[in-house]
Amino acid sequence: MKAKTIRIDRVTTRGGDKGESSLVGGQRLSKSHALFGLIGDTDAVNTQIGLVLATLPSEFIDQQSRLLANEIRGTLAVIQQQLFDMGADLATPFGDALWLESGGLESKGLESGGHATTSTVAEQEGAQSPMALRITEAHLHSLDAAIEKYNAKLPPLKNFIMPGGHLAAAHLHGVRCAARLLERGIVAAIDNLNPFLLPYANRLSDLMFVLARVINALCPPADAPYEEILWDSRREAH
């Protein structure tokens, strides 16, 4: 399917000056609505990934570390695109009150105790709206595969670790926390959301944790090796 071209002629539209903004389809809602909070949280995660990419090391201890860092750059670049898809997904929400003219959960026969199930959503993709971008099971599989691939390169965890290390790794821990905030927001906001959004946010946080470990353990900059600092639960109080 050919991607739709989006043309942005003006940054300032003044359309939100009265505290409202539009969903896909034109419906106006208050900017205090939970959907816009989630869209903003998604943007915050994406922005922090931009910080990671800007601070990844450029000089490494060996060629293998350089190649691994380039793999991570590619992984994060794909995730940034997916997070824009997630924002579009949130702006084209499920549910009868916040649905496009093409119909909602009830009209498509997808209602299951007030919630859409992952299987029915996957089966009815494309029947919902020809313009809707959705996070799907394929996105989850891609995150699962990345977690497995990168985690296999690491030694087993012996305890909880302290966030920090190289600047890019520290920012990855920031992305991890932002993804958890997004995850909690999805749980708390409203019921009628794409059910793949919640596990996507969950997996994303897990992947950021793994990538932070990879940066520190396997591809630190040549001039700043780093050893993980473990939580010392038996330390003396000070």
**CA gap 172, 61 in Å, rounded:** 21
Per-domain boundaries in the chain: 30-218
Tell me the average pLDDT of the chain.
Answer: 75
Cα-to-chain-centroid distance, residue 78: 11
Please give the pLDDT value at position 1.
Answer: 45
Q: Give the DSSP per-residue string, 96-143.
A: STT--TT--TTTTT--BTTB--HHHHHHHTTTS-TT-----HHHHHHH
Over 60: is that where the pLDDT of 99 sits? no
Specify the higher pLDDT residue, 50 or 110: 50
Over 90: is that where the pLDDT of 199 sits? yes
Query: What pLDDT digit, counting tens, does each position of 117-170 carry?
Result: 333 333 344 334 444 678 999 999 999 999 999 999 998 888 888 898 888 999
* Contact predicate 209/147, CB 8 Å: no
Within 10 Å of residue 11's Cβ, how many Cβ atoms?
A: 5
CATH for 30-218?
A: 1.20.1200.10
Over 90: is that where the pLDDT of 42 sits? yes
Specify the higher pLDDT residue, 117 or 31: 31
Please give the pLDDT value at position 37.
Answer: 83
Q: Which residues pair with 60 in a beta bridge?
A: 221
Over 90: is that where the pLDDT of 180 sits? yes
Helical H segments across 152-234, by residue range: 167-188, 197-218
Within 10 Å of residue 200's Cβ, how many Cβ atoms?
A: 27
Task: Report residue 82's pLDDT band, with 50, 70 and 90 as the boundaries.
Answer: very high
Please give the pLDDT value at position 171.
Answer: 96
Task: Report residue 111's pLDDT band, with 50, 70 and 90 as the boundaries.
Answer: very low
Over 70: is that where the pLDDT of 224 sits? no
CA proximity to 158, closest of 98, 103, 213, 112: 213
Please give the pLDDT value at position 22.
Answer: 56
Amino acid identity, residue 57?
P
* Contact predicate 226/60, CB 8 Å: no
Calculate mean pLDDT across residues 78-97.
81
Over 60: is that where the pLDDT of 100 sits? no
Over 90: is that where the pLDDT of 202 sits? yes
Please give the pLDDT value at position 124.
Answer: 40
Residue carrying structure tokens 């009150």:
97
Please give the pLDDT value at position 115.
Answer: 32
* Contact predicate 173/229, CB 8 Å: no
Element (H, E) at 16: none
